[in-house]
Amino acid sequence: MDIVSAVTIAVALIILTAIVTIILWLQRDTNAQYDLPLGEVFYAPSDSKTRVASTMALKGIYRQLKSVSKPSESKPLKRRIDHLRAVMDQLRTHIPLASTISPTNAGGVPAEWVIAPGADPSRRLLYIHGGGFVAGSPTSHRIITSKLSEITNSAVLAIDYRLSPEHKREACIEDCRSAYDWLLANGPENESAASAVYVAGDSAGGNLTLSLLAWARDTQRRAPNAAVALSPVTDMRMINPSIKANLNTDVMLKPMAKKLAKIPRWLMVSAGTFMVPYKATDPDISPLLGKLHDLPPLLIQASDCEILLDDGRRYANKARAAGSNVTLQLWSGMPHVWQLFHPELQAAQEAFDQIEQFIARYP
């Protein structure tokens, strides 16, 4: 073998070794240590009559979700997104609300005040809706915001933050921060300091809620008295085990999960680090990957059969390990953000009861 051939083989072996090493490094799961403890689990009701009623209600909701027609994937992306947004806004509008709804401008961010009868306007809650960062609005989540106003005795500011793909991922983070600053100094009636402040959000909005908490801490702003995250996305690399483990049990997010489950972990990590238009490893984007000390009291609720189970569980356990006061509650057999299906689901009322008790501890 001549020298040139030997050098070529040596270089090829070095490159191959480097590739294998990188793939193994990308496949490691550095957050597996936060899979335990499991958190408090709420099982199906033991009373047979109540259990049957809950099961029937859940089946009805599943039928409703499946009956929502979706446009063909051959349709242009904009038409598919417009369809999703319209469906989300109309899905729960048939449920009557006791709260008054008033549009406002929250420091440059379109928003609405949702105020239950008798709610104290000096007590304020910023609500950040879900929808995968591409859909959702204050309208789509009025079931939740109206109920939160009632049980927390506060005026809820639901913001209409900028969505993708029309805007960069960072835009929604900026809108949440602007609205939070505005909320601290403005109520539904006039400019005035808040007597108590809370933040809550679901799914993508839960992600933005957790990002906001760390930002308020790091910029020495007034911290919320407490916060609530419903089925939050905490790791935008989308590599936590439940994404595959709960693939067949998550009715709402299964279409997205089926595509993600086919992608190797190392490729997902690479995409989240180098290929997407935002840096998925940035703690502002993936709160799980940030420093979780000195956070305000936080309640996380999730379902044991949704793909985002481990996002919430790992965040809660990592935050507790860092010394923060975090409560993790899991419901059995519920769809993603089942709180939206109040009052049909008893589990939704149970979840709101737990939120009410939690918020009451931090007036």
Instruction: Using only the alpha carbons of the chain, give its radius of gyration.
Output: 22
Active-site residue, 195 included: no
* Residue 202 and residue 337 in contact, taking contact as beta carbons nearer than 8 Å: yes
**Which residue out of 336, 342, 344, 350 is catalytically annotated?**
336
Active site residue 342: no
DSSP line for 191-255: B---SEEEEEEETHHHHHHHHHHHHHHHTTPPPPSEEEEES----TT---THHHHTTTT-TTTHH
Q: Residue length, the chain? A: 363
| β-pair type (40-42, 326-331) | parallel
141, 149, 211, 306: the active-site residue: 306
Would you give the DSSP letter of residue 43?
P
- C-alpha pair distances (Å), 6 with each of 1, 10, 17, 20, 101: 7, 6, 16, 21, 76
Catalytic member of 140, 203, 231, 324: 203
The answer to whether residue 141 is catalytic is no
Q: Tell me the pairing of strands 109-115 and 154-159.
A: antiparallel
Residues serving a catalytic function are 203, 306, 336
